[in-house]
Amino acid sequence: MSSPSQNSQNSPGSQASEGSAGSAGSAGSAGSAGSAGSNGSNESRKESEVETNGEMNKSLPPEAIAFATRIYDAARAGDVAIFEQALPRGLPVNMTNEKGDCLVMLAAYHGHAPLVKLLLQHGADPNRLNDRGQSPLAGAVFKNEKEVIEELLKGNADPNHGSPSALEAVGLFGQEETWKKRFEEAPGRGMAGGGILIT
């Protein structure tokens, strides 16, 4: 993971990496996912396109793009009140922007443990990777967000998932003393599949 000051386009939660909008769907159990809008780095998509189940739809109204942008901004800001209203009314809990950053990733990266907890209580996937293969747990390790890490571990986040995994990240960022043992004993360890157990 690179720090926002080194390369803001690679940090999961930076405004620069997310453009002006994101997906209007969820890749959770409903199976609808995609991205709406683009930033200058993705010229292959027009601002009004959304990808759903691998197919491009070119009819996403500007109001939907504006709504998605407000939701991503609320996740970055940790605005629990908005999500307390929107989630019970059907907001996709695994809503994901055009960079693959889900709501849990945005809240975790910006240090909002109460929002991470709420999203997990509503069924958010704690192991959802962004397009760079980063997990919310590894993002929280990168930002040294202890309360967020605790919430993610309670929510069965897998410390072995992603690249680098959160378990690898504690070594990269000098946090082994604090987290290595906890990660090795985490109830979600190995649950995301695809991860290699590091001992």
Domain boundaries, the chain: 19-99, 126-199
Tokens 């993002």 -> residue: 139
Write down the pLDDT at residue 188: 94
Write down the pLDDT at residue 176: 86
pLDDT tens track for 119-170:
999 999 999 999 999 999 999 999 999 999 999 999 999 999 999 999 999 9
pTM assigned to the model: 0.70
| C-alpha span between 152 and 117 (Å, rounded) | 8
Q: Does domain 126-199 have CATH number 1.25.40?
A: yes
Which residues of the chain have a pLDDT value below 70? 1-58, 193-199
- Within 13 A of 49's CA, how many CA atoms are on the CB side? 12
Asked if residue 74 lies in contact with residue 82, where contact means CB atoms within 8 angstroms, the answer is yes
Write down the pLDDT at residue 175: 87
Write down the pLDDT at residue 91: 98
Write down the pLDDT at residue 187: 92
Could you give the C-alpha distances from 187 to 54, 133, 156, 157, in angstroms and in order?
Answer: 33, 21, 6, 8
